[in-house]
Structure 1
Amino acid sequence: MSTPMDDAPLEQEPDLYFANAHDFVVQYLLPSWRHTYSGARWCAQWWCHAEALSRLDALWRAFESMRHGDAAGMAVWWRDFADPTMASLTRENGTFAQCNAASGEHALNKTWPSQEPPPGMFVDERMIRPRSAAVLADDEY
């Protein structure tokens, strides 16, 4: 026997325009973002920099999501996502500070140090589960 949920159409996610973050960066972002190297830094091996990879992947995903929205979506994407992301990545002391796009030099910045915190200061949040209403009701008796 089918239920109303069985008969409901599945909501399909919109198709991606770009296959991945690399395609997005090479085919859309870099051709659209044409700035001089004066004070800005870039690395042709951007995907080797963990921060750049994470930020540009997030930028691509935001692009894919917002391109299906209203007419202002892309303007908002540039203002709220692309401009701050690229400004952060390309600033003189940013992610690519040790790289030189003009000469093709590539070097990773050193990872900042971190000491171990006191035991018990951080817990595994994945292990904390909210108690359900059914469990709370049973505990009241």
Structure 2
Amino acid sequence: MKGPLRKQQLLPTYDRDVDGRSAKWCIDWYFHPEAGSRIEALWRAWEHHRLDGATGMSVRWKDHADHDMNVLLDPRSPFPRCAMKAHRDPEHLEPKKAPAGWFPDV
């Protein structure tokens, strides 16, 4: 994600009490692939909607920022093992090999 959105627009506009119970965050959010992807999507939505002088920013908040930031700050967020100032590497889901014939040849 581009620095200006993160530093000057996105994070400063979210004034939340991040206590680990009602909201979670990781200071090293960029080590969490889901968080990085969601924040990249927020940046792209901001870049698109900021050019709409009528309702663009409202749409961006309603359809993008509110949704993704609620997911990111949720106590069951992509930061399950982290505390506000203590990053712990995420444990990734490990799939079993699909049964033979599960995916047809393309």
SS in 1 for 2:48: helix
CA pair 117-45 structure 1, distance change in 2 beyond 3 A: same
User: What is the percent sequence identity of the aligned residues?
Assistant: 36
Unaligned runs of 5+ in 1: 1-19, 129-141
Unaligned runs of 5+ in 2: none
1:66 correspondence with 2:27: no
Q: Quick one: distance in 2 between partners of 1:87 and 1:110?
A: 21
Q: Quote the residue 2:98 is aligned against.
A: 117
Normalised to the residue count of structure 1, the TM-score between the two structures is 0.66
CA pair 62-121 structure 1, distance change in 2 beyond 3 A: same
SS in 1 for 2:80: coil
How far apart are 1:119 and its partner, in Å? 3.7
In the comparison of the two structures, how many residue pairs are matched? 104
SS in 1 for 2:17: coil
Contact residue 21 and residue 56 of structure 1 kept, 8 A: no
Alignment of 1:8-47 (within 5 A): 20-38=1-19, 39-47=22-30
The runs of 4+ residues in structure 1 deviating greater than 2 Å are 20-23, 118-124
- Superposed CA RMSD in Å reads 1.9
Normalised to the residue count of structure 2, the TM-score between the two structures is 0.85
Larger gyration radius, structure 1 or structure 2 = 1
